Structure 1
Amino acid sequence: MPSPTPVNRRQLLALLGGSIAAPLLPDIAFAQEAWPTRTVRYVNGFPAGGATDTLSRILCQKMSELSGQSFVVENRGGAGGVLGGDAVAKSPPDGYTLGLGGIATNVLAIGTYAKLPYDPRDGFTFIGGMWQLPNILCARKDLAFTDLKDLLATFRKEPGKYTYASAGFGTTLHLSGEMMNSMAGVQVNHIPYKGAGPALTDLLGGRVDLLFDNLPGSLPSVRGGQIRPVAVTSRARIADLPDVPAMAEVLPGYEMTSWTAMVGPPDMKPELVAQINALTNKALADPGLKARYADLGASPMPTSPAEMKAFRASEEARLLPIMKAAGIKPG
């Protein structure tokens, strides 16, 4: 008995009718939904005017230019970024509410808060990296020291005498100081403030000895000679301050950067995530954006979604033991 004559795909369509046969053929590609077709809300969990606000607005402006749709920054400050993170996590997963995640909301919050309104590990879609920003250690102008090594030696001779300010308990700025204390074997007392502005004001007034700050906040005062730069917390020196050493030059292995991630609500469709990731990375590759970021001491951090999620996990493994050793407990 002769075997059946094979029927190819075109013949099958002709026999059955394209409209009926198409759903039966898994290799037929369907058009991907367009995104964005309307305004995108970008939630920043920190107040207006700070480093995260400035850098977010630069990125959102470029994404607006590239997409032809508006990316509107909404500042929802409070609880170290937790309130803003919660707003993103509980939004519809349609790509029209995105926000700023990263070291504060998705790592440090784990070691700071006993209970969070969202899951910092799996309660978001990690779309990709945005930027890395080193912190800077500055000293009051009249503090006597020659360099970082000399300053640390002074701290060892007089434990508990000196103070460092930060923008708040449990922030990367606080952790920068605790990492210095631990790795250098010194005791410099932490003075937490409600924001970087008041902390810088007290450093300028000589009411504290040192300040760990996000780089953009202190740069004008450093350039104006009102405070003394001691070191940056990145692994290496930065181009904008080539004469300022990295902490790692004296304390090998020291590194603390404020990194951020573009995040969305959980359960976003992979194809939508890929579209947002591609637009974000295209904006981060723009020469004009790179130049503006460099002026603020920041560097673009383009990643894939998988790379971003893995990096977050590695930072949790690295930083939570340091927080615990510093006496930072979830409360």
Structure 2
Amino acid sequence: MAGTPGFTRRATLAAGASLLAAPALAQAPWPNGPIRFIGIFPPGGGTDILSRLWCQKMAELTGEQFVVENRSGSAGNIGTEAIARAAPDGRSIGLASVAPLAIGPTLYRKLPFDVTRDFTFLGGLWKLPNMLVVNNDVPARTVPELIGLVQANPGKFSYASSGSGTTVHLSGAKFAAMAGLEMIHVPYRGGAPAHVDLLGGRVHMIFDNIPQALQSAREGKVRALAVTGAQRSPQAPEIPAMAEYLPGFEITSWAGVMAPAGLPLPMVERIAALTRQALDSPDLTARYQENGATVWPASPEEFATFRAAEERAFAPIIRAAGAQVD
């Protein structure tokens, strides 16, 4: 996409160097009042849980209130647009997610924002694989059994997602493509409502973010069959990786924090430093691990570079799935 990145290489290098200058950061003008954190998915889902944990830690570090405002819909595009349109004064920041930032530019022929122009990337927060879970009425107890069941009943099994173009959707699309399956995709406005319908038996399966899927599986509400990382998750080592059955299968969800383009450099430096401090805290690391996530303390420049690489990696998956929409 055309445009100048909201956070230049020169600025990111300056921000990285500033992390070593703690006395100077102590005087940076952020935060100086309540902060609005725009969550781009509905309350109760995995990303919402992890976002709120970070906001809680940031509130502890700064002594200021962090208020989560969920602006869900369109696979995160509605909330992401809200971040882009906010004033670049540091009072409104939000979730930077793989769905709108790395998948959206290929999935949608037109977006209400420019990924390379409209944002200031502030740093990474977490990475986590998805987990394939089926409702308890599905008789399959392993991935090979599920593949055989769906192959024998083409077009009769459905998989839910948190929205078209999310990693939850593309995990299901890639599974269907690699295993040669005909399934029905049922998109929702977020992971939480999709999970509700899974529990109610209205859809058969979902490749959900680990926090919610793992909790429901351990409570016996659903059956976990695989994770989408390259290896098994340390949080659930008993669950196989999909790559054990379909070599080369790997899709990982990730998120960071961002602000509108034009955020003053002292605020960028301050937020980046505080974010790294929050992610370095043992209690937040433990809470993330409990929810299946791994802390990802990427710098602003590292985050911007990684996002661009992910966009290139997801493009062929989206095109192969025929998932592009207007």
**What TM-score, normalized by structure 2, do the two folds share?**
0.85
Structure 1 consecutive aligned stretches of length 4 or more whose deviation exceeds 6 Å: none
The aligned residue for residue 242 of structure 1 is 237
Q: Separation in 2 of the partners of 1:199 and 1:108?
A: 20
Seen in structure 2, the aligned counterparts of structure 1 residues 249 and 116 have a Cα distance that, compared at 3 Å, is: same
* Aligned partner letter, 2:298: T
Written as runs of structure 1 = structure 2, the 5 A alignment for 1:183-222 is 183-222=178-217
Contact 1:129–1:303, Cα closer than 8 Å, also in 2 = yes
CA contact (8 A) 2:84 2:260 kept: yes
Closer, same or farther: CA 266–157 of 1 in aligned 2, 3 Å: same
User: Would you say the 8 A contact 1:216–1:297 is kept in 2?
Assistant: yes
Report matched runs for 1:116-155 at 5 Å.
116-155=111-150
Is 1:289 matched up with 2:284? yes
Structure 1 distance, partners of 2:128, 2:89, is 29
Moved more, 214-223 or 95-104: 214-223
CA distance in 2, matches of 1:142, 1:94: 51
- Mapping of 1:248-263 within 5 angstroms? 248-263=243-258
Matches within 5 A, 1:1-331: 33-331=28-326
Give the superposition deviation at 1:274: 1.9
- Could you tell me whether the CA contact under 8 Å between 1:88 and 1:265 is conserved in 2? yes
CA contact (8 A) 1:111 1:330 kept: no
- Asked if the contact 1:110/1:330 (under 8 Å) is kept, the reply is no
Is the 1:111–1:328 Cα contact (8 Å) retained in structure 2? no
Q: Is this contact kept in 1: 2:167–2:252, CA < 8 A? A: yes
**One-letter identity of the residue aligned with 1:240:** Q
- 8 A Cα contact 1:166 1:190, kept in partner: yes
**Superposition CA RMSD, Å:** 2.2
In 2: Cα distance, 1:33 partner to 1:141 partner: 53
The CA distance in 1 between the partners of 2:153 and 2:64, in whole Å, is 57
Displacement of 1:146 in angstroms is 4.5
Percent identity between matched residues is 46
Cα distance change of structure 1 residues 35 and 319 upon mapping to structure 2, 3 Å threshold: same
CA distance in 2, matches of 1:212, 1:75: 22
| Per-residue CA distance 1:47-89 (angstroms, 9 max, x = gap) | 2222222211110111111122222222222222222222221
Q: What is the letter of the counterpart of residue 230 of structure 1?
A: L
> What whole-Å deviation, never above 9, does each CA across 1:131-178 have from its counterpart, x for those lacking one?
112211112324333522343344445543432222332222111111
SS at match of 1:191: strand
1:311 shift after superposition:
0.6
One-letter amino acid of the structure 1 residue matched with residue 321 of structure 2: A
User: Which letter maps to 1:310?
Assistant: T
**1:183-204 residue CA offsets vs partner (Å, 9 max, x unmatched):** 2333333222344344334433
Residue ranges of structure 2 left out of the alignment (5+ in a row):
1-23
1:106/1:121 contact within 8 Å kept: no
Give, as a single letter, the amino acid of the residue that structure 1 aligns with 2:29: A
- By how many angstroms is 1:113 displaced? 2.9
Q: Deviations over 1:179-228 (max 9, x none)?
A: 11222333333222344344334433444332222222233321122321
Partner secondary structure for residue 283 of structure 2: helix
Which has the higher relative contact order, 1 or 2, with Cα contacts under 8 A spaced 6 or more apart? Answer: 2
The verdict on how the C-alpha distance between 1:124 and 1:322 changes in structure 2, with shifts beyond 3 A counting, is same
Q: Kindly indicate whether the alpha-carbon contact (under 8 Å) linking 1:159 and 1:186 is maintained by their aligned counterparts in 2.
A: yes
What is the CA distance between 1:42 and its match in structure 2? 1.4
